[in-house]
Chain A
Amino acid sequence: MMWLAHDPVLTAAFACATLPFLSMAVILIFTRPYQRLSCAISVGAITVCLGSALYLLITLRHAPAPVEYQWAWIISSDMVIPFGFLLDRLSLLMLTIVAVISFLVQVYSIGYMHGDPGFSRYYAFQSLFAWAMMTMVIAPGMLQLYIFWELVGLASYLLIGYYYEKWSASQAGKKAFVMTRLGDIGFFLGIITVLLGFGDLGILHMNHAAQAGDIHPAVVTLGALLIFCGVVGKSAQFPLLTWLPDAMEGPTPVSALLHSATMVAAGVYLMSRIFPFFAASPDAMAVALVIGTITMLLASTMAFVTYDIKQVWAYSTVSQLGFMVMSLAAGGYFAGVFHLTTHAGFKALLFLCSGIFIHEYHTNDMREIGRGGGRKLTIPMICMTVGALALAGIFPFSGFFSKEAILGVLAAHPNKLFLAAGLLGALMTAYYSFRLIFFILFPRETAEPAHHHEEAHGGHGHGDDHGGGHHGHVFWAMAWPVMILATVTLVLGFFQNELQSYLLGLEPAAHGHEAAEHGGHGLGHYLLLVTAVSLAVGGVFFAYLEFGWKKATQEGFLRKFPAVENLFANRWYMDHFYRKALDLCVYCGFTNIFTRNDRRVIDGGIDGICRFTVGGGRAVSFLQSGMLQYNLVLMVAAVGVLVLVFAL
């Protein structure tokens, strides 16, 4: 391992791509019975990774060209699948985000998961998650990216279904895995398309060749569309979006990780990773834009009616992901990545804050948290409000800047409908996030009986046995990460320009789009800014009218349209539809037909032949009775027959 010592950059990248895996292996094999040790190993590994990621980001921030390391993972005929690291601006930024969020979530989990019987297992899976995501981010080729993309899916399956004794949790894990798998089939076929049509799966090569027009346009379009299927699955875009709201069955810190920097971010990351490739196909971009828009609007409506605190944030994630996809599909590379970055921060913040409430009140219902006195938990309350402000896009929180950037991109798009949709989305986001905040801030005693401690939805199945400890280390382990994230959310927006010049310094391909994006720095730009902010403020104000002020009914305007409310609450009946389709096609359809075929036709046929043989033997067995007279009679008969045959 001498070569490691000579190249600190390689050492650091290597650490990110191996340490969490080793940590998982060690925990699962050796230290499972020792909870504290397991936790220490996992947190230690991710700390080293965080350090490495920061080191890489700092050393390589001015690197003129991407740093690439590759080794042949497998060689088959002329196909070489490399394992390696591609360290460029985008991957380093994302690596840092992943490391930071994973680190904070793991620290937070020390408090949140305290006393859970599966503590060691939890940390092993967290390590797996971090490993898969980080190695995916720095993958130099599409196949490595795909491999770790699948592992990210596996880790999510394990963590979503962490409370496996709960049926709904294991169901949600399975759903997430199978639905994302559905998209991944497209992704895989897309990779093969590129392989067959172009012959090289190196990300940089693909990007350059697509930009230079070296790949046949049909291959680019088909490849991009198929790869986009993977994005649709992973980033929960329409029509594969229903797994994500269910995924909150996992422990809340897992949701924080899943919704911000890992699982769902992978899809958007993939899209920005091969952005020049996508951009080379206007058709694929158009499809992605439409899908992103539908997703964003659809998911926002779902968030209007739910009372589950985590579910609101889950829907908001779906809708914000749609927003990012819109941005990328409209050509806004920086805006999309920037929103991915800010969103990672404030969405993790929102979930982690919610986790504190859930941990404290053992319920996911925002009304009950409010009635239980949620606002007395000052730190999480303030931090959550910060997160919600960022989500709503209010100045000066980070979400404001990134949303502005995306709206700027959409404004530059010839079809203004998308801009309108974006603005509508901003309004709706502000409305539903503050609906939640006001529910907790201004609780009402309603006629409904309070059923405390029962519907602990977030799968907080384990003990009240550590109650009252929230001012000890348990509480602070949770509070620190939250406060750090809140600070990040507050200041990150002001680094927009730095981030932009950092990211685009190396992306001349995307520069053209960005120029267009910032071409309209005139009146139009300010008009847009004012419109967007006033819409966001309007949304907040509207929420205040309905849920905040003293005379508010806290019912929401949708109560007046029960049909629409039902539609939203049932997620536009998408789940029902899928359930029906699955039952009809898979269980009652193919499975049934094939099973019957197996039993009746194939086996039936074979058994029939066997029965025929046995039966035939029985039927003629009387001939072999063993009686001499019979044999004589038969002999004479046979001779008679022969005589007849030959004589005539």
Chain B
Amino acid sequence: MLMTAMEFAQFPILSAILFSTLLALLVILFIPDDRPKLVKQVSLGFAALGLALSLYVYFAFDPQKGGLQFVERVLWVKSLGIYYFLAADGINVPMILLTAVVLFTGVLTMWELEKRVKEYFALTYLLVAGVYGVFMSMDLFFIFVWYDVSLFPMYPLIAIWGSTRKEYGAMKLTLYLLAGSALILPGILYLWAVAGGTTFDLFELQRLGFDVQVQRIAFVMLYLGFGILAGVWPFHTWSPVGHVAAPTAVSMIHAGVLMKLGAYGILRVGMTLCPEGLVYWSDLMALLATIGIVYGAFVGLAQTDLKYVIGYSSVSHMGIVGLGLATMTVDGINGAVFQMFSHGIMTALFFSAVGYIYDKTHTKMIPELGGLSKTMPKASAFFILAAFCGIGVPCMSSFWAELLVFISAVKTYPVRGILAVSGLVVSALFMLRVVQKTFYGDKNPKWEHIPDVPLFLASPRIILVGILIFFGLFPRLILDIIQSAVVPFVNSL
């Protein structure tokens, strides 16, 4: 995997995706304040561009060949060994696609935004640029920088456009995630220094290898640091609070993509560089993940706010990702990455569906709602479909992910695996309970005047549902890609 200092095999498509978001940010900043419509159109245009490019990456990626593709690698700071190094492999191709989809549908979901439109979309693009950067970079320095870029805009996005205790939520989220950063940075620098301080290149570091003791220390720092963002129990409480406070599309990006950043970081940085550390800590990882799965479902059962419900379901579902990673098997990691993708799409759908309901009824308290299916059958159907996906109904993509994770979990950690599988009953109970209380029952006269969602506003949800069912019916279209990276990865462990 030795590469020359400069290597552009083809058109730098990954850079194009990354910089198109930054360009979008710039362009939006130059649009006058009184042209909100234009801001939205420009945002949508760039989101569509990003989506098209990511789709190209998805289709052009060759799972037979596997390995790193679309590599762009330039030495940036020689003395420290920092490389501008972007590449796509089976693990990040689905993540890039996920980001593009969530951004695109997120822009559509916020189409009716009226408050400080320009700033909102500018910050969104900054956030997304950070996310893309983390997913594409193969250089520790850049991973960390982009990671912090993606965290920073969350505070204003929640504090300005949010609702329900928004300052509290924003502050809590920011503090938690910065605490995570504070663990990641020393972890990365420690590894860099131990390796001689000559390179931040992930794969060169991997080749150099580390002492077992070093790996154990570094892994736990990286695991906890990234784990906070991935909603690992017991560091999860920022996530429901943050989701509730955030505006719809920010919740979508946040739960859909940002939380994946955490799991991705554990996989990409922690597990790649510290396999021995993983072996040492995997028991704890599996335990925390299992607790998260069961615990999240139970706590979700007691919630009365729709967004809290989704927040806790995220805790539960991200537990599945963690459990998959902890198994250290091909099936488990396949499932975990697949779950990262499916859960991203699913929560985006959840929040998008709630967003419309909240916009129209101005409440997301379950006891005040009820009977919504009668007045807005289409808008309700999207939430119900997302709930089915959350329950793990077959032929929707998260079913496959859960299947793979659970099979390997029962194999590797029988007791925890069985506990996690039993969590499925609770999650079914809690999802169906919410669906029943919110959408079923007699027509609620309070909401009778509300129109059902028109086609244009429904389009983001249609796209998301389509993706869930498409990959549910044809899982190989994404699993083969994932596997092309996971098999060599597990073999190298």
Instruction: Using CB atoms and an 8 Å cutoff, list the residues of chain A in contact with chain B.
Output: 72-77, 79, 143, 146-148, 150-151, 154, 157, 161, 164-167, 170-171, 173-174, 177-178, 181-182, 185, 188-189, 192, 195-196, 586-587, 590-592, 594-595, 598, 602-603, 606, 610
Contact = CB atoms under 8 A, between A and B. Distances in A.
Nearest to B392: A150
A316 B428 CA distance: 29
B371 interface: yes
Given A75-B483, A167-B440, A196-B411, 5 more contacts: A73-B475, A164-B439, A164-B440, A174-B433, A192-B411
B404 interface: yes
Nearest to A191: B407
B441 A76 contact: no
B49 interface: no
Given A189-B418, A196-B411, A74 B442 contact: no
A34 B371 CA distance: 24
Interface stretch (B214-222, B251-259, B295-303, B348-356): B295-303
How many chain B residues sit at the interface, stated as a range, is 35 or more
A586 B393 contact: no
A174 B430 CA distance: 10
B299 A74 contact: no
A188 B421 CA distance: 9
Contacts of B334: 76-77
Contact of B175 (A146, A154, A590, A610): A610
Contacts of B475: 73-74
24 contacts: A76-B335, A76-B479, A77-B334, A79-B331, A79-B407, A148-B394, A157-B432, A164-B440, A170-B440, A170-B441, A171-B436, A173-B432, A174-B436, A177-B428, A178-B428, A590-B298, A591-B298, A591-B301, A591-B302, A592-B302, A594-B298, A595-B302, A598-B237, A606-B172
Interface in B195-242: 234, 237
A586 B426 contact: yes
Nearest to A609: B175
B400 A74 contact: yes
| 6 pairs of A and B residues whose beta carbons are closest in the complex | A77-B330, A170-B440, A147-B394, A164-B440, A595-B302, A174-B432
A79 B237 CA distance: 37
A630 B302 CA distance: 54
Contacts of A592: 302
A165 B440 CA distance: 5
B193 interface: no
A75 B476 contact: yes
B429 interface: yes
A185 B299 contact: no
Contacts of A148: 394
A188 B394 contact: no
A74 B441 contact: no
Contacts of A147: 394-395, 399
Nearest to B168: A607
A151 B472 CA distance: 13
Nearest to B179: A606
B299 A192 contact: no
Given A148-B394, A610-B175, A72 B436 contact: no
Contact of B299 (A77, A165, A598): A598
Contacts of B399: 147
A146 B404 CA distance: 14
Contacts of A591: 298-299, 301-302
Interface in B385-402: 388, 393-395, 399-400
A192 B407 contact: yes
B393 to A, nearest CB: 5
A342 to B, nearest CB: 31
A606 B428 CA distance: 30
Would you call the interface of chain A mostly helix, strand, loop, or mixed?
helix
B450 interface: no
Interface string B350-377: 0000000000000000000001011000
Contacts of B433: 174
B327 to A, nearest CB: 11
Contacts of B172: 606
B476 A74 contact: yes
Contact of A75 (B298, B395, B432, B479): B479
A175 to B, nearest CB: 9
Given A195-B407, A603-B237, A154 B388 contact: yes
B164 interface: no
Contacts of B330: 76-77
Contacts of B411: 192, 196
Contacts of A161: 440
Nearest to A193: B410
A538 B325 CA distance: 65
Contacts of A586: 298, 301, 426, 429
B237 A606 contact: yes
B424 interface: yes
Contacts of A189: 410, 418, 421
B480 interface: yes
B406 interface: yes
- The listed residue with most B CB atoms (<10 A of its CB), out of A143, A164, A165, A171, is A164
Contacts of A157: 432
B237 A178 contact: no
B194 interface: no
A70 B27 CA distance: 53
A163 to B, nearest CB: 9
- The listed residue with most A CB atoms (<10 A of its CB), out of B298, B331, B374, is B298
A275 B374 CA distance: 46
- The listed residue with most B CB atoms (<10 A of its CB), out of A151, A167, A195, A594, is A594
Contacts of B393: 150-151, 154
Contacts of A590: 298
Interface string B297-317: 011011000000000000000
A95 B258 CA distance: 47
Given A74-B400, A591-B298, A165 B443 contact: yes
B483 to A, nearest CB: 6
A143 B395 CA distance: 12
Contacts of A150: 393-394
Contacts of A75: 476, 479-480, 483
B329 interface: yes
Nearest to A167: B441
A155 to B, nearest CB: 10
Contacts of A595: 298-299, 302
A181 B428 contact: yes
B436 A170 contact: yes
B406 A594 contact: no
Nearest to A163: B440
Interface string B2-45: 00000000000000000000000000000000000000000000
B459 interface: no
Contacts of B331: 76-77, 79
Nearest to B423: A185
Contacts of A173: 432
